[in-house]
Structure 1
Amino acid sequence: MSSARRTVQVRVPATSANLGPGFDTLGLALSIYDDLAVTALADGELEIEVSGSGADEIPRDESHLIVRVIRHVFASVGRAAPGLRIVAHNGVPHGRGLGSSGAAVSAGVLAAKGLLEGDVDLSENDLLRLATQLEGHPDNVAPALFGGLTIAWLDEQARPQHKKLLVHRGVAPVVFVPETTMSTSLARSLQPLQVPREDAVFNVSRSALLIAALTQSPELLLAATEDKLHQSYRAEAMPETDRLVRTLRGAGFAAVVSGAGPSVLVLADGPGRRLEAAELAGRVTDAPWEALMLAVDFKGGTVRDISVGAD
């Protein structure tokens, strides 16, 4: 089937990057989703419908991120992009440290893959490379595309690579989402360009331990989520987030800033423990936080052809 009038359905999970010590390297896919249907139209046509998080601020023209992503992918493989009809529902909270831009980029790349099917085959490496070009770093797009716990890095040729790992069934995530937002660029600007050697060694040890904790030994999660590279530098810009993280960690919960914040991720070692974390968070904070009891998404982003007559 040609791309003309083809409609593909895409689902992409939220992600939480860093996970404490794994700055710009570790990411976890979580069970909140952006859903969209993309139809190839005649050249020059563009129709966009958006609902859900951030819908009021999202443009409905050529500057829409998913439009730009799809066109970038088509151009990268030497194909002319068709006109587009996009119907999107954003389940991933925007500006809260849950990978909303990475989800949108990943969704656009997957939509392009679906529209190009039968003409150009995009491999996993192609998807990660294209998504990283557009997002700027692979730590959110890798789990959004592939699911689970991902380790992402750039090889010696600056090509993004990833390794997907399965998370121990005893790990029970809960995310506390505030009403306020945080700019990723602002959060990054608060970090120093250099850190003490002992802090770097500290984070290397905790990142290694975190892989073991998430895949084999959830009882080690509190120690494994300690960090000295980024969270303390950003604390002043997110005082309520810092307060919640400190309170939860003081009570024995593996709490970290989710991505650039201001959401807080708790990696509890069992469903009962995350209920205790939610009860504590409700008692100690002045600002309202929405507690999202989530699962680890193991599937990652999906795309399927839903055109009339498609298999």
Structure 2
Amino acid sequence: MGAGTPIGASASVRVPATSANVGPGFDCVGLALDLWDEVSVETAPGHGVRIDVTGEGEHTVPRDESHLVLATLRQGLVDLGHPQPDVAVHLTAHNRIPQSRGLGSSAAAVVAGLALAWALARPGEPLDRDVLLTMAAGIEGHPDNAAPAILGGAQLAWVAEDGVHHLPLEVDPSIRMRTYVPDRQVPTALARHVLPESIPRRHAVKQVLAASLFVTALTSSPDHLFEATRDWIHQPYRRSLMPESASLIDDLRGRGVPAVISGAGSTVLAIGTPEQLRGGEDVDVSAFRVTDLTLGGGVELSVPN
């Protein structure tokens, strides 16, 4: 929003929630969920920032330059060749993704900011999702949430020496998803801090087996999802940060439900066939907000003609 950015420009974006890791796919597997944040931006003559937020986080998210969508929007404009802003900015957000619960709220904010930056910096050009993924992974540090948020569906994504790569995973049509969202927030930085620098070899071997099995279970053999969603390298070390969620995982898996911590937590994700999910119907979930969800699409950007 500097030289070349039109005054009176506007754009809107919808970004889905995401669930990363899904058990053994640590930092490389993610699912888009049909739960969306909606953000719009308008530019006007003058200076200053106005931010309006409704929905999740409306009483807690900042209304200044530290707002993650705005900060990412500004960084995206710089990366796309624009100097710092010299116009007034009005940002409006309606959030449906719970904050700091492992459903990709920060990734959604980053993707929203970058997509809006693209709309302002590249008016009339179709959104380049590969460019957006590279930018988002650079900010997030890993692409497990960013890839499904941008591309939709289930994605296997990784960073190599030559850039960010991704492969879509065609989810078996019988698979459903259910989220259990508690009141407890778990900051991602804290969830990463408790992870050890090394793990026993036997756990690494079990993790390789589960991650290998997971791709087959997700795409064509959902009967194997229970074994395929076992994790040995991150969930055990995070239990103390989210005791209610850890207990729910135990209860659900004790009844044969493929259940995992969503992202860094504290949300629990159950993923499986309707028959598999029915195994958890007698579990006490009174401390959780329970929602049945389907796979979501990727980020949607709209610009007025």
Does TM-score exceed 0.5, indicating one fold?
yes
Residues 1:67 and 2:76 are matched in the alignment? no
Deviation of 1:276 after TM superposition, in Å, equals 4.7
Name structure 1 gaps, 5 residues minimum: none
Deviation of 1:207 after TM superposition, in Å, equals 1.0
Partner of 1:99: 104
**In structure 2, what is the Cα distance between the partners aligned to 1:177 and 1:273?**
20
**Equivalences for residues 1-311 of structure 1 within 5 A:** 3-42=6-45, 44-80=47-83, 81=85, 82-118=87-123, 123-157=128-162, 159-270=163-274, 273-277=276-280, 279-281=281-283, 283=284, 288-297=287-296, 299-306=297-304, 310=305
Secondary structure class of the residue paired with 1:265: strand
* Superposed CA offset, 1:60-118 (max 9, x none): 11111111111111111221345321110110000111111011001111111122233
**In structure 2, what is the Cα distance between the partners aligned to 1:167 and 1:18?**
15
**In structure 2, what is the Cα distance between the partners aligned to 1:276 and 1:3?**
56
Secondary structure class of the residue paired with 1:75: helix
* Superposed CA offset, 1:130-182 (max 9, x none): 1122222211111111111111111124x222222221111100000001111
> What is the Cα-based RMSD across aligned positions, in Å?
1.8
- % identity of equivalent residues: 39
Residues 3 and 280 of structure 1: is their aligned pair in 2 closer, same or farther, counting only changes over 3 Å?
farther
Secondary structure class of the residue paired with 2:144: helix
**In structure 2, what is the Cα distance between the partners aligned to 1:43 and 1:73?**
21
Residues 146 and 190 of structure 1: is their aligned pair in 2 closer, same or farther, counting only changes over 3 Å?
same
**In structure 2, what is the Cα distance between the partners aligned to 1:131 and 1:137?**
9
Residues 53 and 12 of structure 1: is their aligned pair in 2 closer, same or farther, counting only changes over 3 Å?
same
**In structure 2, what is the Cα distance between the partners aligned to 1:125 and 1:224?**
29
* Superposed CA offset, 1:199-238 (max 9, x none): 2221122112111111111111101101111111111222
Q: What letter is aligned with 1:205? A: L
Secondary structure class of the residue paired with 1:205: helix
Structure 1 or 2: more helix by fraction: 1
The TM-score with structure 1 as length reference comes to: 0.91
Q: Determine if contact 2:256/2:279 at 8 Å carries over to the other structure.
A: no
**In structure 2, what is the Cα distance between the partners aligned to 1:191 and 1:152?**
21
Name structure 2 gaps, 5 residues minimum: none
**In structure 2, what is the Cα distance between the partners aligned to 1:229 and 1:236?**
15
Q: Determine if contact 2:172/2:218 at 8 Å carries over to the other structure.
A: yes
Deviation of 1:37 after TM superposition, in Å, equals 1.4
Q: What letter is aligned with 1:67? A: L
**In structure 2, what is the Cα distance between the partners aligned to 1:119 and 1:291?**
40
**In structure 1, what is the Cα distance between the partners aligned to 2:157 and 2:210?**
16
Secondary structure class of the residue paired with 1:192: coil
**In structure 2, what is the Cα distance between the partners aligned to 1:164 and 1:40?**
36
Deviation of 1:189 after TM superposition, in Å, equals 1.2
Secondary structure class of the residue paired with 1:143: helix
**In structure 2, what is the Cα distance between the partners aligned to 1:220 and 1:150?**
19
**In structure 2, what is the Cα distance between the partners aligned to 1:2 and 1:79?**
8
More deviation in 115-124 or 68-77? 115-124
Q: Determine if contact 2:252/2:279 at 8 Å carries over to the other structure.
A: no
**In structure 2, what is the Cα distance between the partners aligned to 1:28 and 1:126?**
20
**In structure 1, what is the Cα distance between the partners aligned to 2:126 and 2:16?**
23
Q: What letter is aligned with 1:291? A: V
The TM-score with structure 2 as length reference comes to: 0.93
Deviation of 1:10 after TM superposition, in Å, equals 0.5
Count of matched residue positions in the alignment of Structure 1 and Structure 2: 300
Q: Determine if contact 1:2/1:118 at 8 Å carries over to the other structure.
A: no
